[in-house]
Amino acid sequence: MVNDRGTIKWTSLMLPEHVEMLKKLWNEDKTQTKPLLDEQELEQINLIMLEALESKFLVSITVFNRQISREYRGIITSINRNNHTLKLMGANGLLTIELVDVIEIEKI
């Protein structure tokens, strides 16, 4: 079995400035920009959230925060319109999610 480390194996032959520049480029590749949702997508997210709250079925919620998207799974226990959050009961306990950070939701 061949264990290829890609460009990492060549860093020992590079100048420290080049290694630092490569690390910076790799980190830039990891960062994302938040997708812009249109009115129809926002309405679909809202409908699924309300249905999930009422029916208590399992959902997968994709949240975008600090240039990273994460997926959470659980049951929506409450939606607070005053502070724009929802509570999700998942495997790791109760999680508070800001509604503006939700970019996708689907039934499981």
For residue range 26-39, what is the model confidence (pLDDT) as tens digits? 766 666 788 899 99
> What are the domain boundaries of the chain?
39-107
Helix, strand, coil shares of the chain as percentages rounded to 5? Answer: 40, 35, 25
Q: What is the pLDDT of residues 1-29, one digit of tens each?
A: 455 555 555 556 667 887 788 787 776 66
Q: Cα(13)–Cα(10) distance, rounded to whole angstroms?
A: 6
pLDDT digits (tens, 9 = 90+) for 82-91: 999 999 999 8
CATH of the domain spanning 39-107? 2.30.30.520
pTM: 0.70
**What is d(CA 92, CA 12) in angstroms, rounded to the nearest whole number?**
41
Helix (H) or strand (E) holding 25: helix 16-30
* Residue at 70: amino acid letter: R
Phi, psi (rounded to 5 degrees) for 15: -70, 150
Q: Give the span between the Cα atoms of 67 and 93, in whole angstroms.
A: 24
